[in-house]
């Protein structure tokens, strides 16, 4: 969950800065990154690197590697310990899906314009719809997007990437929501057969790292709409 190349800020003391994902750490603590920095590393604060790493393990994986050090971090941040059952990594990431303001990346999906169908191929304009997303979510959940980022980043630093999957935008939006929520959900105006057909090869095509759960969710949709 924490590839350094996609961390977008740092916390710590001078000479001992640790890269972090701003969006995730703020969502999990309900504090701004500046508040976290001041509470943990302000003047005469006793926190050390081991406490910081223990705190970040909880941020990224819900793992409690050192209970005492984690409690100390929570006390400095004035957070309630132990965390409530509602404050888990899975639920916090699902909450991030609704936070459009913090999304730092966009997938460009080519939209065919029916009015231009009769134009010469050379004169056709490419129209795109933008799907906002958190870059670290794509990088973490999909080997395909990770490879896209590695290729693009060799050439330029950008906050957009074009989708070449040739899937419908509805299917892509459902897949991206799945990256946050671990569930596949359809609205009443979507064609379930099209969605299922397009997502059936998603495990291999998008190189998903949670094959069992994704296929389980897809089977639920098949059963719901009698598509087996």
* HEC letters along 60-120: HHCCCCCHHHHHHHHHHHCCCCCCCCCCCHHHHHHHHCCCHHHCCEEEEEEECCHHHCCCC
Give residue 61's pLDDT band: very low, low, confident or very high (50, 70, 90): very high
Q: At 129, list the tokens.
A: 């719809």
Average pLDDT over residues 104-121: 70
Ordered domains of the chain (ranges, CATH): 4-94 (3.30.710), 100-224 (3.30.710.10)
**208 phi and psi, to 5 degrees?**
-75, 145
Give residue 113's pLDDT band: very low, low, confident or very high (50, 70, 90): low
Average pLDDT over the chain reads 86
Render pLDDT for 167-221 as a digit per residue (tens, 0 to 9): 889 999 999 999 999 999 998 888 999 999 999 988 888 999 888 999 999 999 9
CA dihedral 152, 146, 104, 107 (to 10 degrees): 70
Predicted pLDDT at 198: 92
Average pLDDT over residues 159-171: 84
């Amino acid at each position: 969950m924490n590839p350094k190349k996609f961390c977008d800020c740092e916390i710590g003391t001078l000479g001992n800065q640790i890269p972090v994902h701003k969006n995730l750490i703020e969502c999990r603590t309900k504090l701004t990154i500046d508040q976290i920095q001041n509470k943990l590393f302000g003047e005469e604060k006793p926190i050390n690197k081991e406490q910081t790493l223990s705190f970040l393990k909880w941020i990224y994986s819900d793992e409690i590697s050192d209970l005492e050090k984690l409690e100390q971090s929570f006390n400095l941040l004035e957070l309630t310990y132990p965390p409530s059952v509602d404050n888990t990594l899975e639920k916090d990431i699902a909450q991030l899906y609704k936070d459009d303001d913090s999304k730092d990346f966009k997938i460009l999906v080519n939209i065919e314009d029916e009015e231009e169908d009769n134009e010469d191929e050379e004169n056709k304009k490419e129209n795109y719809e933008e799907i906002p997303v958190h870059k670290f979510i794509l990088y973490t959940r999909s080997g395909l997007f990770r490879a896209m980022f590695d290729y693009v980043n060799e050439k330029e630093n950008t906050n957009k990437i074009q989708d070449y999957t040739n899937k419908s935008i509805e299917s892509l939006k459902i897949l991206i929501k799945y990256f946050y929520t671990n569930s596949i959900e359809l609205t009443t105006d979507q064609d379930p057969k099209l969605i299922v057909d397009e997502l059936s090869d998603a495990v291999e095509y998008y190189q998903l790292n949670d094959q069992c759960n994704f296929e389980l969710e897809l089977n639920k949709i098949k059963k719901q709409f009698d598509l087996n």
